[in-house]
Amino acid sequence: MIESFVDIFNTSSKYVIPILLAVIPFYALVFKKVKVYEVFVEGAQDGFKIAIQIIPFLVAILVAIGMFRASGALEILISFISPILNAIGFPAENVLLAIMRPLSGGGSFGLLSDLVDKYGPDSLIAKIAATMFGSTETTFYVLAVYFGSVGIKKVRHALIAGLIADIVGIFSAVYICRFLFG
Amino acid sequence: MILISVIIGSITGNIDEVTQAAIDSAKLAVELAIGLIGIMALWLGMMKIAEESGLIQSIAKIIRPLVVWLFPEVPPDHPAMGAIILNMAANILGLGNAATPLGLKAMQELQELNPQKDTATNAMCTFLALNTSSVTLILPATVVGLMGINANQIFLSTILATTMSTIAAIIAVKSLEKSQRFAIQSPNKCEEIEEDRLISK
């Protein structure tokens, strides 16, 4: 039963991106009379901008983590924490990302790129990392921007609730990926 | 982190590797970012089409009853409710650029309803907890770019994980708002209402 579910999932997941690419422009053109080509180009220009904007973050994080790994420090850190993490089934390689995620979007994207680059996009570690990245937010940043914009100083339970959501999201990412791709 | 790397690198005799890693990583960072441009342009172009075709409004209609239920303090016809719903719909579609201005609008409208301008209301906390738990159906363009064809599989795992974190956010925010520790503190009417509410619970 469970295995067949995973099979169905893996077969049907192949269609997610192709269907999105086919259905969105079709729907927009036929039902909404959107000027598909012009709008596409307008949106696509953002791809260029965002890619350029993330370069400084990527340089900072990839250099720091690259040096950290080459010095052997990352290995020492991982060998320290992995016994505890193995007990709960959490891959030690994903820990830095989990800690960085609520603090910095650029930084955690840098760590995600590092893991994808080191282990390959088809590895379990990269899939867990991508799921973590996609299913949580930079809580501190969102809180600072949104509360800051209206001058709220006492945030009450918003921070704790946000962090609880992050922790649940991070652990869910690990266990869901282990179940689906493990 | 870099300082630790240099110290440990010196101790372990890996200092050449550490230097090399710094140079290689800086180069890799730019190559990676440039490599992302194509896929991200494709993805963001598609998402722009989705936005223009009114997908945000369609999703907004679907989630409206749920959002009204989540924000009992906000009158259903108040502009704050509209902004909250549109912000969440944009988040669900992964349209971060469209979501942020709507979110800021929602905060302004919620502030209008706030009797105590420096303290967050329950509705604000709920709104932000939902935002930080990142309700989403569509992956960010950066993730699609990085994962390539494997992004296909990440869609479902992300939807499942984000559903869990959103449920956790709702439970956390709804139980914490009743806690004495997070009660609104001020010697005005607002607190009395809050206390009455606590007693009646």
Q: What is the mean pLDDT of residues B177-193?
A: 66
Closest chain A residue to the Cα of B54, Cα to Cα: A32
Whether B172 and A164 lie within 8 Å, measured CB to CB: yes
Question: What tokens does B133 get?
Answer: 């738990």
What is the Cα–Cα distance from B83 to B21, expressed in whole angstroms?
47
Q: Where are the domains of chain B?
A: 1-38, 54-200
Separation of alpha carbons B176 and A49, rounded Å? 40
Verify that A164 and A76 share a domain, yes or no: yes
Q: CA B161, B163, B166, B168 torsion: positive or negative?
A: negative
Give the count of domains, chain A: 2
Task: Indicate whether A149 and A86 sit together in one domain.
Answer: yes
ipTM field = 0.87
pLDDT value for A12: 78
How long, in residues, is chain A? 182
Based on the fold, state whether residues A16 and A58 are members of the same structural domain.
Answer: no
Summarize pLDDT for A127-167 with one digit per residue, the tens: 999 999 988 888 998 999 999 999 999 999 999 999 999 99
Higher-confidence residue of B184 and A110: namely A110
Instruction: Please indicate, yes or no, whether residues A29 and A79 belong to a single structural domain of this protein.
Output: no
d(CA B33, CA B29): 6
A31 with A69, same domain: the answer is no
A76 CB contacts (<8 Å, ≥6 apart)?
Answer: B8
**Which of A73-87, B92-106, B140-154, B174-188 bottoms out in mean pLDDT, i.e. has the lowest?**
B174-188
Asked if A60 and A43 sit in the same domain, the reply is no
Query: Do A24 and A60 reside in the same domain of the chain?
Result: no
pLDDT given at position B200: 54
- Best to test chain A binding among B5, B163, B179, B185 (most A CBs inside 10 Å): B5
pLDDT at residue B125 tops 60: yes
Measured between beta carbons, the chain A residues lying within 8 angstroms of B38 are 47
State residue B187's pLDDT score.
Answer: 46
Q: Are residues A1 and A83 in the same domain?
A: no
Residue B201 has pLDDT above 60, yes or no: no
Q: Phi and psi for B188 in degrees, rounded to 5?
A: -130, -175
Whether residues B25 and A63 touch (CB distance < 8 A) is answered with: yes
Give me B114's structure tokens: 């706030």
The pLDDT value given to residue B12? 85
Distance separating alpha carbons of residues B74 and A116, to the nearest angstrom: 43
Which residues constitute the domain of residue A117? 54-181
Which residues touch A70 (CB under 8 Å, ≥6 apart)? Answer: B5, B9, B14, B17, B18, B20, B21
Side chain identity, residue B155: F
